[in-house]
Amino acid sequence: MDNIEIKEQRSQAGKYLFVVEVGTENKTTHQVTLERDYWQKLSGQKVTPGQLILDSFMFLLRHEPKEAILKEFDLKDINKYFPEFEESVRK
């Protein structure tokens, strides 16, 4: 699996912003927003927002190459493309 580096950029108005870098060679960079309510819904606050982002990227990389992952998106958008996402990440 690709190396995944997550950096929280800021948290404001009920949202977190992360920059995620995937890979060591031919690295891809992604900006991901995460609404606090969505984090609570998926995690039950049992994992940190950063851990949820990591788990989400691990899910994405099982389904598509890193180059196919959108460069900028809100975490809840994953469920539009992969309806099994929320159930998978809750486990």
pLDDT 10s digits, 14-42: 899 999 999 988 899 999 999 999 999 99
Q: Record the tokens describing residue 70, joined without a space.
A: 């959108």
Structure confidence at residue 57 (pLDDT):
97
Instruction: Give the model's pLDDT for residue 1.
Output: 56
**pTM strictly above 0.85:** yes
Q: Any idea what DSSP says for residue 76?
A: G
- Domain segments of the chain: what residues? 4-90
E strand or H helix that includes residue 60: helix 49-63
Helix (H) or strand (E) holding 78: helix 78-81
Query: Looking at residues 39-63, what average pLDDT do you find?
Result: 95
